[in-house]
Structure 1
Amino acid sequence: MYTVLSHKYGTTLIFLGIVLIVVSAFQFGETVMEWSYAQYVNMFSSFTDNVAGISFKNRLCSPIPIDAVYTWVNGSDPNLLSQIRHIEMDLKRQINGIRDDNCTFSHCVPTNLIVIEPEFSTELRLDELKQKYKMFEMASKMYSLNFTGEHHKFTVITYPDEKAVLKALEYRKEIKEKDMIIKRGYYTSDWTLQQSVLLSDTVLMTGLTKNVKVKSIKNLLYKYQIAFSKVTLYKIQQLAVIHLSSKEAIEELLQVNVTFDNQNATLVVANLVWDLTDYSQNEDTSPSRFEDNEELRYSLRSIDRFAPWIRHVFIVTNGQIPLWLNLDSPRLTLVTHEEIFPNRSHLPTFSSPAIEANLHRIPGISDKFIYLNDDVMFGKEVWPDDFYSHSTGQKVYLTWPIPSCDENCPNTWIKDGYCDKHCNNSQCEWDGGDCEGKTDSEPLHSRNIWAGDISFQSDVKLIYCSNGCANSWLGDRYCDDPCNVYECGFDAGDCGIQHYNELHHINFVPGQAVYKVDPGQNIFYFNLTFLVGDDGRVETAYMHSNKIIRTVIISQKFKVMTLLLYPNHTEVLNFSLLCHEKNSNHTKQLNFTVMVDTKAMKSVHSSRTKLDPLKKSDPTTPTILLQEEEPMIAIQNISTQQLYPKPKNSSSIFFETNFSNYNLPHDIKETLNILNKSYEEGDLTEKGFKIKKYRLWKKFIQTNYTIKIPNSSLEKKLNGSLNSNPKITATLNHPSQNPNFAEKEFQPYRPERRHLLSFPDDFLQPGVFPWEKSNGLIFKLQKELEKRQKYERVSQFQRKLLDTFGDSIRHVNRLYNKAFGYTSRKVLAHIPHMIDKNVMKELHDLFPQEWEVTSSHRIRSSDDMQFAFAYFYYLMGVTVEVNPAEIFDETDTDMSGVLSDREFRTLATRLYTLPLDLVTLSTLEAKIINCSEIYPELEKEVPEHIKEKYYETKMPQLTKDFFLQCPAITDVIKENFKPQPKYKYIIHEDHETTFQMIKTNISAAVSQLDRIRKHPKKFICLNDNIDHGKEESQTVKAILKDFFESMYPIPSRFELPKQYRNRFLHINELREWRIYRSWLRFWTYLTLTVLILLALMSFCSDNLKTTIVYQVILSR
C-alpha cells in the first residue's frame, strides 16, 4: 500500500478504482431489478391479473400519453399589428385592380360626379382649377363632403353629363398630388359600404318596369314636382334617380308607395360611393382594438385543476411570449410557426386554419393530443374517456346544422331524389344531379319524402319561423326545442303530434277538389288518413311554386301534411299527391286546390282549436268548400311590399321620436307616461327605452293617417287627398323620418341578424385570433353604419354577406359530399378536440392540394379546410372494404384453420338475408365445389386431426388459403358486405358544453357568467366580442377578470410568481439572449478549465521537483 501511495499516480488510481466499483455496483443493481421486473411482471401487474394471464394494458388504459396544444397570439403587439396592416395594404392593392366601371353593389348606377380623396385644396376656387387643370374645364360645381362625425373630408366635382365626366377622367393623371384618389362617383342603395356617404338630396326609385318614362314618373308624383330638381331614368337597371331641393320633401316621398303596371316601386335614400372594392370579403384582416384578457392563463389553470393527467403542454405562437409564462417549466414548450410549417414560404401567416393544418407536425407531440383555443376552459373534472374510449371510439360533439349552400336550399335537400330548383346551381352542386330529366313541377318532401318548400325571400329574417328556428329545421327528422312551438307548427311533427290539437286542421273528403282555409290561418295541416289509411303511404307529392309557402312537410309516420305560410297574402295553392294503401298495389292520385288568405292574421291564442288532430271530421265542416259552391278565384296581384313583408321586430329604423306635436289618444299617452317613468327610475336602459318608444310611435302613426309636413309652404302645395290618384297610396307602413336628421346625433337600434343561414350568431366560431373575432376591416365604418340605419328601406333582394367561417365549412362539405356521399352535417361544438396525428396524416394524404392551399393563406379564406369540421367528418366518413381474412377468422370460432359445417352456416347467415333456405345454402356450396374443380391447386393436404367432414361429400376442405384465393367466395363477400367505418365514433350530446359570446352589455355579461357559476359544464368557451371602443368595455373586462379569478384562483405550475415578468416578449429576442448566454458560459467555463489546468500543472511540477530532489538525496 505504501508503495502504491508513494507512487506519483497512486492516489489517482485508487480514486478511479473506487468510482468504478461504485458505478458497477449501481449498474448491477439496476440490471438485477430490470431482470426481476421482466421475470415477474406477469405475476405482479394488475393488467395481467386475469383469466387469460396476459396483459391488456393497451386496451384497459386510455390512450396515453396525451398532450395539450394551444394556439395563442397577443393581438395588441405593435409588431404584429404592423404586419397585419401590411397584409391589409397588399390586399387593397390586389383588389384595386378592379375596373372603375364594374360596380357590383345593389342598384348601382354611374353619376355625373367625380370624387377626389382626400379633400382638394380649399384655397383654390373652381375657376382657378379650370385654368390650371384640363380635368376641371367642363365642371359646373365643386363642394366638400365628409363622414358624419368624422374629420375625413373629400371633394366632389359636378359635371353636366356623362360625356364630360369621361373626358375629365382622361386628364386625372395630370394631378400629381401624392396619395390622391380621383374616381367617378356612383349612386347605390347599399349603405353597408366602406367610403359611402348618405346623400340628403337624392332618392333612388327601384323596381320600375321597362316601359316607364321620366314623364310618367313626374305625372305620377305631380304633387311633389315642385321639390324636384332633376329626374334621371336608367332603363337597363330599371331605376330612376330623383334629385330634390329639400330634406323635408325626401322624408315625405319616402312614405309613398308608388305602383307602375301593378308592380310596386321602392324608394330609398341614395348613397354616394366611389371605391368599388368589396372589402366585405377581407374583414379578417381587421386589427381592431383587441386586447389580451389573459384567457390562456386561466385555461392553463383549468388544466392544472381539472385535467392534471395531461403529459405536456405545447403553445404555438408566431414567436410571441406571454408576459407571465414560466418558460422553465419542464411540462411546457413554446413552439413557433417555423417549427411546424414545412413550407416556409407560407410564413408569416395570420390565419388560424393555416396553423391548425400543421399542428400534427409539432416535434415530440403525442399520437393523440387535445387541441384548445385560449378562450376554452374546463369547468369540471375531465378525463380522456370524455374524448375517446376503446369501446365507443371518438366522442363527437355536434351543435347546429352547417350553413346552407343557398338560403332557399337546405343541405338535406341535396341528393335526396327530388328536383329542387333552388338547389339547382353550382353552389349546391346542381342538387346533386336530382334535376336530371325532371318536369317543371316541384316535388314536395316528406320523411322519406321529407322536407318542405322554403321562402323565396332573400331577407334572412324570413327564413326563421320563430326565434332560433330556421325553416330548414322543420321536418328534418330531429326534434328541435326552438321549433316545437305553435309558430313553427310544432316542428312539423318532428316532436310528435301531441300539440297538433292546437293547429287548424282539414280532413280530405271524397270527391272534394277545392278546400278553403279560414281567413287569417297561416299554420294548418291536412289529415291524410282518409287517403292512405293507417298503414299506407304517400309515394310522391308535387306542388306549384308559390311565394306564400314557408314550408310544406308530409309526415309518413303520422299521416299529416303540415303547411306553414307567410302572412299578408291571398293565394290559391295547387297540390298533387300519389299514394296507395298498405297491402294494395292500387295507387290513386289526388289533385286538389287550397284557397288561403293570411292577411287577417289571427292571434296565436284565438286561432288555436282544441280538436283531436287525427279525428275524422264531418264532411260538412265549414273549413271545406265544395267546388260547386264557389267558383275558382284567380290569384290576385299582390304588391311587392305585401309579397315581401318585413317580419316582426325586423325594422332597423329607430330614431328619436317626438310626440309633442301630436294629439295623442288616451291609451298611447298612458303607455308613454309609463315608459318615461320606467326609464327615469332605471328599470329600462336607454336602448330599451328607445325601442319601446319607437314601437309605440309606430303603433300611433299606423292608426293616424294624417301626414304632418314641417315646411308650411310645401304643406299647402302638397295638401289634398293622396288617394285622388288611384295609382298612389300613402299608407305609413314605415315611420316617418325626423326632419332634423342632419343635425342630430342618432343612436339607432339595429336588431341582430343571423349571418349564416340556419346558423345562429351566438354560436358562430369566429376564429382563434383576435382579428378573426373582430367585426370588420375598417372600424370607422361602424359609427357611420349606425347613423345610416335610420334611412334604410330594406331591399327585397339585399344579400347579407356571409363570413369566411361559414364559407370554409361549405367548401369542406362540398368536398366531403363527393368523397363520402351526400348527408346532413352539423358544426362541431366549440370545445377542446382530441386529435390523432396519424388520422391527420391520412387526411392530408387524401386532400393534399386543399391542405396546401389552406396552409398558404395569410388570412382566413373561404376555401380553407376548416380544421375540426374536416377532421371529425373524415373520421366519421372514411370507410374500409371488408377483409375476407377477417371474415374467416371471425367465423372460425374453434380456430382450427378449417371451417366446419356449423361454421359454414354461420358464414351463410352473414352473407344472406334470413331466413336461410336450402336453395341458398346449396347455391353457396355449389360455388365452392365449382371453385375447387376449376382451381384444383387451391386444395392442399390438411392434417387428419383438423380435417372436417361435410354433409355435402364433394365439399373441399375450407382452409383459410382456399377461402382467400377462391374468387367465388371473395366475390360473394364483396357483394354482401358493405364498406365498414374505419374508425369507431359516437355522437355525443352537448349538454356538458357551454358557449357564451361576451358582449359589451354589462347586465347581460353578469347574467351569462352567473349561469356558468351556477351550472358549470365540463367545457366552457367565453368568446370575447367586446367592443373595446365603448366606455362599458372596461367594466365588462373587470367582470370577466373577476369571474376567472373566482373559478381559477390558484396559479398553475406554468406561471411565473406574481412578482416576476418575462424579460423578453418575443422568441427571437430570447434566442439571441440564450445564444449570448451560451457563448458567455462557454468562455467562462473554458477560462476556469484553463486556470485549473494551470494550477494542477504548477502543483504537479512542484511535487515533481520535490520528488526528484528527495530521490537524489536518498541515492547519495
Structure 2
Amino acid sequence: MFLEENYRAYLTKMRTFCKFIQRQAYTILSYKYGTTLFFFGFVLIVVSAFHFGETVMQWSQKQYITMFSSFTDNVAGHSFKHRLCSPMPIDVVYTWVNGSDPELISKLQHVKIMLQTQLNESRVDTCIFSDCVPADLIVIDPQFPTSLPLENLRQKYSLFNEATDVTTINNTDNSRMVTVVSYDNEAAVIRALKNKDSISWKNNSVNKVYYTSDWTLPQGVLLKDVIIMSGIPFKHGMKNVKNFFPSVYQDVFSKIVSFEDKGVAVLHVKTKAVFEEVLQLNLTISGKIISFAAASIVWDLNDYSRTEDFSPSRFEDNEELRYSLRSIEKFAPWVRNVFIVTNGQIPSWLNLDNPRLHIVTHEDIFLNKSYLPTFSSPAIEANLHRIPGISDKFIYLNDDVMFGKEVWPDDFYSHSTGQKVYLTWPTPNCAENCPAMWIKDGYCDKSCNNSRCDWDGGDCEGQQNQPSHGHMANLWPGELDLQNNINDMYCNTGCANSWLADRYCDQSCNVYSCGFDIGDCGLKNFNEIHKIELLPAQRVYRVPPSKNLVYFNLTNAINLFGEVTSAKMDKEELVRKAAISLHFKVMTIILYLNHSETTISCNITFHSKVLNATNRISFNLIVNTNQSRALKAELEKATATQESILSINETESIIIKLNQMPESLLQPNPKRSSVVLVEKIPNITFDALPKDIKEQLDFLKQRLEEGELTEKGYKIHIYLLWKIWLNRNQSMPDIQNEKDTKPHTDTKKMVLDDIHNRLVRKSSTSLLFNTPRSNEVQQNDKHEPILHKSRNLMSAFQFSFKRGVFPWEKSGPLVELQAKLDVLKNKEQYSVHSVKQRRLLDTFADSILNVNRIYNRMFGYITRKVPAHMPHMIDKNIMAELQNLFPEQWAITSSHKVRSSNDMQFAFAYFYYLIGVKENITAEQIFDEMDTDSSGILSDREIRTLATRLFDLPLDLNTLLKLENIFINCSKSFSPSSSSESSPSSVLSSINKSKAGDSTEKYYEINMPQVNREFFLTCPEIQQLIQKSFKPKPKYKHVTSGDGEIAFKMIKTNISLVVAQLDDIRKHPKKFICLNDNIDHSLAEAKMVKAILNDFFESMFPMQSHFELPKEYRNRFLHLHELLEWQKYRNWLRFWTYLTLIILVMLALLSFCSDRIESWHRRFLHRRSTSRNVSRQSSNKKKSSKSSTARQEPQN
C-alpha cells in the first residue's frame, strides 16, 4: 500500500514536470524568435551528440583494433598493417598525345622551323604562296624595343634612313607584337636590309616582307587597306593599271605597284569603304575575269601545309590508351586514381565524369612556365611527381603499355626486397671499341681516351696527347659525315667490332668478314683466310689485292724468340681489328674495305725467359682493299666454266666450280657461313646436350615461333648445333664428367693488351691479346671453342628501334634536327679525337650515355643496363630527392622543346639513382642492433657479437681484450652529459650507472665500464672501427629482375610478322605488354595492320571500362581550354538562370499570398503603432506625475 502511494505520487510529480516543460516550450515558441531558437538548439544538440560519439570512438580506437583487427592478431599484440600490406594507395599516370591533331601538328612544324633556324637550315628565299610579290616593308620580329620617333631612329640606326613610316602590329599566330617599317619602293628595302646589322639586339630578326592573297596562312597578317589584283592579261601591259577601272575608281588608290611578270598589281586604298567596294568589284579585261583579294603580309616563307613530315597519318592514334585502361580494370583493379598528362588534348571517347579520372595539363606540373609548350617526353616525365594529389608511389605508363596478366603492387615493390627493377640490355659504348668494363680498370685504353668516356675514367690522366690522324686530326667528329656507314662499326650484322677477340665465341662473329671471331671460335675455318708465315729475316709482306683479312703464323717466331709481350701497328684508320692469340700462336688482322694500296708498319716484341732476352721483329705490310678494281682484275683472268656450287638442298647437292677463280670470290664474304649442306640428323636426346647448346636450341625455337626464322633456316641452325655438339664429343672422348660440359657463361669477360702489363697505347694501335684467364678456360681452348648464347646487340641497331613516348620522337625531322643541334652545342664540350665515330643521331642512346656519365662520376664506374619498356613504379619523394641532387641537369631537361642528347633519361636516371645511392652506417644503428635485450647497456654476450662484426673470424682472446681495452680507455675521457662532476672517481661511478634504470651489467673484466648508448656514441676509437668495418649500404632496398614477364614487340608494316608477334602474345601471355608502333602509315598495308591490331585489342580486352563513354557518344570538345571556356560560360549561365528562377518564384509567391502578406503587414504596423502609443502615454503620465509632484513640494 505504501509503495502504491509512493508510485502515484511519483507519477503526479512527473506529469507536473512534463506539463511545466510543455508550458515553457509553448511560451518560448510564442515569442517572436522562439521557433528559430528552438531549431538552432536542436541542431546544436544533434551535432554535439555526433561529436561526442566520434570522440568516444577515437578514444577506444586502439582497443577496438586490438579486439577486432586481424593485423593485431599476433604474439606482439601490435598492428603491422603498414608492413604486411603493399604501399597504398597507388595511382597510375599516363602521358598521352593525339598525334593527328592539326593544332599539334602546326606547333610541331614551328618547332621544326625553330631548330632549322638554329642550324641555319631554314633559308627559304622563294615565296611559293598564291600571288606572292615583294612588299615595300620590313618586319622586325619581335617588336623593336624603342619608342623613339622616326627622325631619331634615322639618326641612330642606318636601317631607318629611307623609312617612311614605323608601325606596330600583332602577329596573330604567335600572339606577339612586331614592328613594321615602310619604304617608298623595293629598292629602298634592299638597301635597308644591307644595314640590318645596325640593330644591336640579338633577339630581333629583320625580315623581308611579301604580299600574298592566301589569307589562310597561319603566319600571315591580314591587311585592311591593301588589295591584290590578279589575272591581268600580259598583252595589256602593267604601266597604267588605273585605266582598267571605271572612272569613279580612278582616284581612290593612294598607291599602285604592278608586277608584270606575274600579272599582279598591289592596290593601296585610302578608306575602308573603298576597300570593301573594290573587293566586290566585277572587272573583266579581254574576256578574262580579274580577281581581287585582301592582301596579307608574310615574312615566314615556309609552307607548313605542304610538308609531309607531320602529316596526320604519320602520327595516327591507334587508341592504345583505351585498351590500356581496360587492362587496368581487368588486371589491376586496386589502382586508386588515373591521371592522364596531356598538352591540353582530350580523347574523344574518354568519360570525363568518372571521379577517378583526372586530366592534367603541362601547366599544372611545370614550375617554370616559360619552358612551355614542350614536345619532349623526358621534359614531361621530369615533372610527373608534381601532379597535384598524386600518391607517394605511383605507376607511370605510356599509352602503348598494358597489362596482360594479374598484376599486384608486389610486382613493383615489396617491404622485404624493396623496389623491383626490370633491366634488359647493356648501355651503349661511350665510344667505338670501348666497352663499359674497360672504363677505370687501371689501364689506359686508347679507344676510351676521350671526353665522352671521361678519359677512360681517369686511367689516361696525364696522357691526353692524342694520336695524329693526318689531315683529319683536328676535326671535331660532328664535322664528319653524320651518315657514316654502319659497316665501319660492325663487321657483320649483330657483331660489333668490340666483340672480336673478347674470349667468347659469338655466332654472329663466326663468319669470314669478322675473321671467324679472330680465333675465339678456334682455327677450324682459318684455312679460308690468307696465311702469312712470319719470318725473322723478312721485312716486307704483301697481302693479295681486295683481301681485307689475313693472319700471321707466329709458331716459328715464338719457338725461336719466346712469347709475345707487346705488339703495335700504325695506320689505325685502315685496321678494323688486330689481335694475337697466344694459345693458337697466330696474329689476325681485319682491314676496312675500299682503301688504296697502303703500307702498314708493325712491331712485335718477344721475350725469352730461358735466355732472359728481348727481341723485336719489325716489318711492313702492303695492303690494298679496294675491291672494285681488284675484283675487275681478277674477273678478267677468270673463265666462265662452271662445275658445281654448294647449295642448300634437302634432296641433292650440285657442285659448280669456276676455274682459275680465287677462293674468296666463289662466295660472298658476309654470308659464307650460311651455305650449309644439311645432312640427316640422327635421333638424339636433347636432355643430354650441354646447357649452352640447349640455350641455342630454345632461342632457335623462339625465333621459329615468332616467324623470324623459316623452317629451312631452322633446320640449318639445328644441323649446325648438332655438328658443334658432335665435334666437341669427338675431340673429348674421355671427358664424361658433367663439370666439363658445363658452359663457362659466368666467366668474366676481359681483353688483355699484353701478358704482364696492359700496353698504354699512344701513337699507334696495340694488338689485343687473347690470353688464357683461368685453367678452366685454358682446358677448353685445347678443344673446340665454347659456343655461347647470342648476346643482345647494344648499338645503333638496337637504339634505332625508336624508343620514344610520342610519335615524333621515334623518327622524323625533329629527331634528326635536334641531334644535329646537340652535336653543335657539344662541339667544345666533348673533344673526341678518334676518326671512326658512331653516329650522333640517336638522342635516346645519347641521353642514356649522358646519365651514365654523370652516375659514373657520382656512384662509380659499373656496367649498367637499360630499364625495360614497361610500367614503372616511381616514388615521388625519391624523385624529388634525385632532382635536388642534380638540379641543373633536370632543369636543362625540362627546358627542351624536343628530346635531346643531354636529357636525363627518366627511368634510367631514377632506377640507377635508387640502386647507386648509399648511406653510411652510424654508431646509433650498430648500438641498437647489438642491444638485443633493449636494456640500454651492452652485455658481455652483446659485446662479443659486436666483436664478430668489427674483426675477422676466428676471434681470439687478444682480439676481445683489445676491444675491452678500447672501452676502458674511452671511459677515462668520458664525461656524461647529465653529470656536472669532474673528478675521476665521480666519472667512473657515473659510468657504472645505467641510463635505463638502476640495473647494471656485470662484466667478466672488473675495470670494464658500463657500455651504455651515450658512452658508446662518444667513444672515438669505436667510431673509427665502425667506419672501417661497416661499408656504406644501399639507401633503398632493391632487387633486379629480368624481362621474363615482359612482351615487347615492334609493330611494323609486315602483316605476316605482326600476326606472328600477336599470336605469340596470345600463346605466351606476359604481365607487361608493350606494342611499340613503328607502322609506316604511308603504305597500303598500314590499314590492314591497324585492323589486325584492333582485332587483337578487342580479343584481349573486349569489355568497356568505366573510363569510356558509351559507343554512341563522343566528347564535344577535344581540347581542355575549349572545355574550360564552355564550363565557364555554363556556370555563368547557370548562375543567372538560378537567380532568375529564384526571383520568379519570389514574385509568384508574392502574387499568390498578397492578401496574407497585406494582413501581416497591417498587423505588424498595428502592433508597432500600438506599442508606440502605449510608450507615449506612459511617458506622458510620467511627465505629468513629475510636474504634479513638483507643484506639491512648495506648498509643503
Which TM-score applies when normalising by structure 2?
0.56
State whether residues 851 and 904 of structure 2, in contact with CA within 8 Å, keep that contact through their aligned partners in structure 1: yes
| Residue deviations 1:743-785 (CA, integer Å, cap 9, x gap) | xxxxxxxxxxx999635437845211111122335999xxxxx
Aligned with residue 61 of structure 1, among 74, 80, 85: 85
State whether residues 400 and 759 of structure 1, in contact with CA within 8 Å, keep that contact through their aligned partners in structure 2: no
State whether residues 495 and 793 of structure 2, in contact with CA within 8 Å, keep that contact through their aligned partners in structure 1: no
Partner of 2:914: 875
Partner of 1:915: 954
1:73 counterpart = 2:97: yes
| Residue deviations 1:561-589 (CA, integer Å, cap 9, x gap) | 9998648999998777999xxxxxx9999
Partner of 1:847: 886
State whether residues 851 and 905 of structure 2, in contact with CA within 8 Å, keep that contact through their aligned partners in structure 1: yes
Partner of 1:683: none
Distance 1:435 1:28, change over 3 A: closer
d(CA) in 2 for partners of 1:552, 1:899: 62
Aligned with residue 773 of structure 1, among 806, 810, 821: 810
State whether residues 67 and 369 of structure 1, in contact with CA within 8 Å, keep that contact through their aligned partners in structure 2: yes
Partner of 1:955: 1008
Give structure 1 stretches of 5+ with no counterpart.
101-114, 121-168, 181-282, 443-456, 506-511, 532-537, 580-585, 594-631, 647-661, 675-693, 700-753, 781-794
Residue 952 of structure 1 aligns with an amino acid whose one-letter code is: E
Residue 115 of structure 2 aligns with an amino acid whose one-letter code is: L
| Residue deviations 1:943-997 (CA, integer Å, cap 9, x gap) | 4853223333333221110111111111221122211110011110111112111
Query: Following TM superposition, by how much is the alpha carbon of 1:379 offset from its aligned partner in structure 2, in angstroms?
Result: 1.0
Aligned with residue 1060 of structure 2, among 1001, 1007, 1022: 1007
1:1037 counterpart = 2:1090: yes
- Counterparts of 1:316-335 in structure 2, within 5 Å, are 316-335=341-360
State whether residues 497 and 577 of structure 2, in contact with CA within 8 Å, keep that contact through their aligned partners in structure 1: yes
| Residue deviations 1:367-390 (CA, integer Å, cap 9, x gap) | 000000111111111111111111
State whether residues 72 and 80 of structure 2, in contact with CA within 8 Å, keep that contact through their aligned partners in structure 1: yes
Greater Rg over alpha carbons, structure: 2
Percent identical across equivalent pairs?
Answer: 58
State whether residues 577 and 591 of structure 1, in contact with CA within 8 Å, keep that contact through their aligned partners in structure 2: yes
- Counterparts of 1:80-119 in structure 2, within 5 Å, are 80-96=104-120
Aligned with residue 863 of structure 2, among 824, 839, 856: 824
Distance 1:524 1:1016, change over 3 A: farther
State whether residues 401 and 758 of structure 1, in contact with CA within 8 Å, keep that contact through their aligned partners in structure 2: no
Aligned with residue 835 of structure 1, among 874, 892, 909: 874
862-871 or 923-932: bigger deviation: 923-932
Q: Determine helix, strand or coil for the equivalent of 2:440.
A: coil
State whether residues 765 and 830 of structure 1, in contact with CA within 8 Å, keep that contact through their aligned partners in structure 2: no
Q: Determine helix, strand or coil for the equivalent of 1:333.
A: strand
1:422 counterpart = 2:461: no
Query: Following TM superposition, by how much is the alpha carbon of 1:60 offset from its aligned partner in structure 2, in angstroms?
Result: 0.6
Query: Following TM superposition, by how much is the alpha carbon of 1:1025 offset from its aligned partner in structure 2, in angstroms?
Result: 1.0
- Counterparts of 1:581-730 in structure 2, within 5 Å, are 634-641=619-626
Distance 1:920 1:33, change over 3 A: closer
Query: Following TM superposition, by how much is the alpha carbon of 1:918 offset from its aligned partner in structure 2, in angstroms?
Result: 3.5
Distance 1:1089 1:170, change over 3 A: closer
Partner of 2:1026: 973
1:355 counterpart = 2:380: yes
State whether residues 569 and 601 of structure 2, in contact with CA within 8 Å, keep that contact through their aligned partners in structure 1: no
Distance 1:592 1:981, change over 3 A: farther
State whether residues 419 and 1037 of structure 2, in contact with CA within 8 Å, keep that contact through their aligned partners in structure 1: yes
| Residue deviations 1:987-1036 (CA, integer Å, cap 9, x gap) | 10111112111112222222221211211211111111111112221121
Residue 350 of structure 1 aligns with an amino acid whose one-letter code is: F
State whether residues 549 and 564 of structure 1, in contact with CA within 8 Å, keep that contact through their aligned partners in structure 2: no
- Counterparts of 1:1044-1083 in structure 2, within 5 Å, are 1044-1083=1097-1136
State whether residues 368 and 836 of structure 1, in contact with CA within 8 Å, keep that contact through their aligned partners in structure 2: yes
Q: Determine helix, strand or coil for the equivalent of 1:544.
A: strand
Query: Following TM superposition, by how much is the alpha carbon of 1:543 offset from its aligned partner in structure 2, in angstroms?
Result: 4.5
RMSD: 5.5
- Counterparts of 1:121-136 in structure 2, within 5 Å, are none
- Counterparts of 1:527-606 in structure 2, within 5 Å, are 543-544=567-568, 550=577, 566=590
1:314 counterpart = 2:339: yes
Residue 871 of structure 2 aligns with an amino acid whose one-letter code is: P
Partner of 2:320: 295
Query: Following TM superposition, by how much is the alpha carbon of 1:50 offset from its aligned partner in structure 2, in angstroms?
Result: 0.8
Query: Following TM superposition, by how much is the alpha carbon of 1:7 offset from its aligned partner in structure 2, in angstroms?
Result: 7.7
State whether residues 399 and 828 of structure 1, in contact with CA within 8 Å, keep that contact through their aligned partners in structure 2: yes
State whether residues 449 and 455 of structure 2, in contact with CA within 8 Å, keep that contact through their aligned partners in structure 1: yes
Partner of 1:382: 407
d(CA) in 1 for partners of 2:309, 2:853: 23
Partner of 1:899: 938
d(CA) in 2 for partners of 1:668, 1:1009: 40
State whether residues 346 and 857 of structure 1, in contact with CA within 8 Å, keep that contact through their aligned partners in structure 2: yes
| Residue deviations 1:222-259 (CA, integer Å, cap 9, x gap) | xxxxxxxxxxxxxxxxxxxxxxxxxxxxxxxxxxxxxx
Query: Following TM superposition, by how much is the alpha carbon of 1:43 offset from its aligned partner in structure 2, in angstroms?
Result: 1.7
d(CA) in 1 for partners of 2:66, 2:612: 74
Q: Determine helix, strand or coil for the equivalent of 2:925.
A: helix
* Paired positions, count: 766
d(CA) in 1 for partners of 2:485, 2:30: 103
State whether residues 901 and 950 of structure 1, in contact with CA within 8 Å, keep that contact through their aligned partners in structure 2: yes
Partner of 2:850: 811
d(CA) in 1 for partners of 2:803, 2:842: 8
| Residue deviations 1:241-296 (CA, integer Å, cap 9, x gap) | xxxxxxxxxxxxxxxxxxxxxxxxxxxxxxxxxxxxxxxxxx99998821111111
d(CA) in 1 for partners of 2:312, 2:537: 60
Residue 639 of structure 1 aligns with an amino acid whose one-letter code is: N
Distance 1:116 1:75, change over 3 A: closer
Residue 1010 of structure 1 aligns with an amino acid whose one-letter code is: D
Query: Following TM superposition, by how much is the alpha carbon of 1:320 offset from its aligned partner in structure 2, in angstroms?
Result: 0.6
Distance 1:332 1:386, change over 3 A: same
d(CA) in 1 for partners of 2:896, 2:909: 17
Query: Following TM superposition, by how much is the alpha carbon of 1:902 offset from its aligned partner in structure 2, in angstroms?
Result: 1.9
State whether residues 898 and 946 of structure 1, in contact with CA within 8 Å, keep that contact through their aligned partners in structure 2: no
State whether residues 505 and 517 of structure 2, in contact with CA within 8 Å, keep that contact through their aligned partners in structure 1: yes
Residue 886 of structure 1 aligns with an amino acid whose one-letter code is: Q
State whether residues 998 and 1025 of structure 1, in contact with CA within 8 Å, keep that contact through their aligned partners in structure 2: yes
Residue 806 of structure 2 aligns with an amino acid whose one-letter code is: F
| Residue deviations 1:150-179 (CA, integer Å, cap 9, x gap) | xxxxxxxxxxxxxxxxxxx999979x9979
- Counterparts of 1:406-445 in structure 2, within 5 Å, are 406-436=431-461
1:346 counterpart = 2:371: yes
Residue 329 of structure 2 aligns with an amino acid whose one-letter code is: D
| Residue deviations 1:624-653 (CA, integer Å, cap 9, x gap) | xxxxxxxx794421124479999xxxxxxx
State whether residues 847 and 901 of structure 2, in contact with CA within 8 Å, keep that contact through their aligned partners in structure 1: yes
State whether residues 417 and 434 of structure 1, in contact with CA within 8 Å, keep that contact through their aligned partners in structure 2: yes
Distance 1:638 1:1074, change over 3 A: same
State whether residues 353 and 867 of structure 1, in contact with CA within 8 Å, keep that contact through their aligned partners in structure 2: yes
d(CA) in 1 for partners of 2:312, 2:951: 63
d(CA) in 1 for partners of 2:581, 2:489: 19
Distance 1:368 1:1100, change over 3 A: same
Distance 1:491 1:387, change over 3 A: farther
| Residue deviations 1:645-698 (CA, integer Å, cap 9, x gap) | 99xxxxxxxxxxxxxxx99979799999x9xxxxxxxxxxxxxxxxxxx98999
d(CA) in 1 for partners of 2:84, 2:1015: 36
Aligned with residue 798 of structure 2, among 761, 767, 774: 761
1:39 counterpart = 2:63: yes
Partner of 1:728: none
d(CA) in 2 for partners of 1:564, 1:46: 71
Aligned with residue 1023 of structure 1, among 1066, 1071, 1076: 1076
| Residue deviations 1:1055-1114 (CA, integer Å, cap 9, x gap) | 01101100111111111111111112222222333444555667777446557989999x
Which TM-score applies when normalising by structure 1?
0.59
Residue 112 of structure 2 aligns with an amino acid whose one-letter code is: E
Distance 1:696 1:500, change over 3 A: closer
